[in-house]
Amino acid sequence: MTTTLHDDAGPDTVRAPSPVAARLHRTGVRVLSALGVIWAAATFTFFIQALLPGDRATLLLNQLTGQIQERTAGELAPINARYGFDDPLLVQYADFITGLLRGNLGMSYQLYKPVTEVIGDQVLPTIALTFSALAVAWVIAVVFTVATVKRVPWLSSLASAIEAFAAGLPQYWLGVILLVVFALGLGAFPVVGGTGLASLVLPALTLGIPLAGFLGQTIRSEFDAALDQPFTLTARMRGMGDTQVRLRHVLRHSVLPGITLSGWAMGALFSGAVIAENIFSRPGLGKVLVTAVNSRDLPVVCGVVILVAVIYVVANLLVDLAYTLIDPRMKTA
């Protein structure tokens, strides 16, 4: 109305860079920091690999032969030369980083295959599991919240208690229970392996139910607060019913903290996948990781760690994007 401060700001107004340049600047900073996170993860895993106690050449040779014994210098020399273990640490690091840039993560000690190939073969089932677990968690949390917040007092308290209980469930235990009840007992789902949709249900529930508990608890308080906002009263005054008010107005206001949590959960689900894949004998990175750790197949372990870092970074970029979609006010703030 009368507050036209921006329009007639006077001749001494200093013009800042254009909005486009500002946005490019912001995007640039974000991409750089994302690359920084991946670089830090890669560097960290490299030095762990190089500085861990135990001679790497001995380790490798023992694995090749299946024996555990001290090796002579003569035996180790060709291995050291081949893998560059004799080079100064910084040279090894430079080789590692340049390899990484070319998409080369080294060779698996155990499988004699490039690490990228080992991971590439198994990554899809894990990604499918992670995303379905996240989806399951969101569906459960949203349905539960919309249905129970501020209805009858005892129902809200009960629902909140159930959520807290779900959040505290150990995934391993939950997975076994689900397996015993639904696969072995009721025969509703396949017990072992498989790649179809049916085989995804129980593992996704195993990871999704505890996460749903966390999500529900985060969304619940926001949902509760948003229900008391004047705009919900305005909506009711228009003749809107309670369920519609909850779905069309209140829900959107309450999901932001849940979105933040999801960015973190992507990383947690990836590690949780190890458990679920183990229980349900699913193919996936979990199994690769467990085997690699047990046999000290360090290049594979590093590859998985770097992959998790990448997924983490991408998930958080998606979270930022979702934020501005859900709350457009954040664009200008």
Partner 1 sequence: MTTTAILSDDATTAAPPATPVPRRLLAVEHLDVSFASGHGRSARSNHVVKDVSLSLEAGACLAIVGESGSGKSVTARTLVGLPGSGARVTAGRLEVAGRSALGRPERSWRRIRGKDIGFILQDALVSLDPLRPVGREIEESLRLHGTTNAAARRAKVLELLASVGVPEPELRARQRPDELSGGLRQRALIASAIALDPGLVIADEPTTALDVTVQAQVLDLLAGMKERGTGIVLISHDLSVVARLADHVAVMQGGAIVEQGPVDQILGDPRHEYTRALLDAVPSAHTRGVPLTSAGRESMGAAAGRVRIDRPAGAPAVLRAEHLSKSYKGPDGRFATVVDDVSFELRAGETLGIVGESGSGKSTTAKIALAMLDPDAGRVLLDGQPWTELTTSQRRPRRRTVTSVYQDPLSSFDPRWNAERILLDALDAGAFSTAAAQRGRIVELAAAVGLAEEHLAKHPLQLSGGQRQRLAIARALAPEPEVIVLDEAVSALDVSVQAQVLDLLTDLQQRFGLSYLFISHDLGVIHHMSDRVLVMKDGRAVEQGDADEVFTNPQHPYTRELLASVPRVELAGSVD
| Site for partner 1, rule CB under 8 A | 1-6, 8-10, 12-19, 22, 229-231, 233-241, 248-249, 252-253, 326-329, 332-333
| 102/329 with CB nearer partner 1 | 329
Please report how close the Cβ of residue 242 comes to partner 1 at its closest, in angstroms. 8
Cα four-point dihedral sign 47, 99, 63, 192: positive
DSSP-based three-state secondary structure for 107: strand
Nearest to 172 by CA among 289, 273, 268: 273
| 165/231 with CB nearer partner 1 | 231
Which residue shows structure tokens 């949902």? Answer: 223
Please report how close the Cβ of residue 220 comes to partner 1 at its closest, in angstroms. 18
Please report how close the Cβ of residue 29 comes to partner 1 at its closest, in angstroms. 15
Please report how close the Cβ of residue 27 comes to partner 1 at its closest, in angstroms. 15
Distance CA 27, CA 10 (A): 31
What 8-state DSSP symbol labels residue 113? S
| Longest CA–CA separation in the chain, Å | 87
| 62/232 with CB nearer partner 1 | 232
Residue 220, classified by CB atoms within 10 Å of its CB into exposed (0-12), middle (13-18) or buried (19+), is buried
Please report how close the Cβ of residue 270 comes to partner 1 at its closest, in angstroms. 31
